[in-house]
Amino acid sequence: MKILVTGSNGLLGQKLIALLRQQPQVEVIATSRGSNKLAALYPDVRFLSLDVTDATQVATVLAHEKPTHLIHTAAMTNVDECQLNQEACWALNVTAVSYLVAACQRHHIHLVHISTDFVFSGSEGPLTEEAQPAPINFYGESKLAAEKLVQACSTPWAILRTALVYGVAHDYGRTNIVLWVRDSLQAGRAIKVVNDQYRTPTLAEDLAQGCWLAAERNATGIFNISSHELFTPYQLAQQVAAFFDLDANLLEKVDASTFSQPATRPLRTGFIITKAEQELGFRPRTFREGIALLASQTEPGP
């Protein structure tokens, strides 16, 4: 197998590279826009600079490499940024996918594409793969449009929908709910945390495992990849405080209406993952297990 990963500098991309390089039957190619953040960690992994919004680059790289599988993790995932910069969002989340789909068809490449629970309205959950998408923000609209492009692909494809991904990565500026809560409480800062939205949080290592399982099995169709557990962010924050033995009294329970954000969030999503368990052998960690793994990978905050 020869697997090309887009977005290898991102959180999921980094976890995927770490996992795939351990598989003896896999030749892995890391690609991302800009320089390789993993060069010092994994000097054995070949890296190519690739801007997936550049049609010529996509066509040239995939024609030259001809991977058997492509795992597409590159995306604009900041929901408010997508709402405010819709042209840039569409270019990365939709137009780039059209270029990748065309190349996969041309070279008979199996495509694994990452999608999101934000393709749904949030009126109900947890959801199966058969639930009807109805996005309520531009990020969700862009990801649904990308799903439709992938579904029209004439070569084998798998779409992995995920939710509230967390984890730590090398030289990665973005935070996540676990680090944000831990570092805020350690600094003695009171924080407001939403308690009227529901998600099934996903450890980045588990999502990487789902991607590998889908590629290894040449899986086709839509799969939900997350944990089993449905929580509000406030409930997640309570668990983080308890794990690190921090003051949970600094957590203030609020409704989403407390915040003024450019993009509306779906209130209730989360996934039923039975299909991924049965067809892929997917086995996610619990949130507590995920916190423990993350804690082992990070230094204490300020």
DSSP string covering 286-301:
PHHHHHHHHHHHS---
Residues of the chain under the 50 pLDDT cut: 301-302
Average pLDDT score, the chain: 96
Spatial distance between the Cα atoms of 114 and 240, rounded to a whole number of angstroms: 27
Note the pLDDT of residue 174.
83
Note the pLDDT of residue 172.
86
- The strand pairing partners of 252, in sequence order, are 192
Note the pLDDT of residue 301.
47
Which tokens is 137 given? 């923000």
Alpha helices (H) in 68-172, listed in sequence order? 79-84, 86-90, 96-107, 138-151
pTM for the whole structure = 0.97
User: Helix, strand or coil for residue 175?
Assistant: coil
Spatial distance between the Cα atoms of 106 and 61, rounded to a whole number of angstroms: 13
Q: Tens digit of pLDDT for each residue in 199-254?
A: 999 999 999 999 999 999 999 999 999 999 999 999 999 999 999 999 999 999 99
Spatial CA neighbour of 216 closest among 66, 74, 44, 16 = 16
Q: Tens digit of pLDDT for each residue in 157-182?
A: 999 999 999 999 998 878 899 999 99
Q: Which residues touch 191 (CB under 8 Å, ≥6 apart)?
A: 180, 181, 184, 185, 237, 250, 251, 252
- Burial pattern 102-140, b for ≥16 Cβ within 10 A else e, equals bbbeebebbbbbbbbbbbbbbeebbbebebebebbbbbb
Q: What domains lie within the chain, and their CATH numbers?
A: 2-169+201-229+265-285 (3.40.50.720)
* Neighbouring C-beta atoms of residue 38, cutoff 10 Å: 21
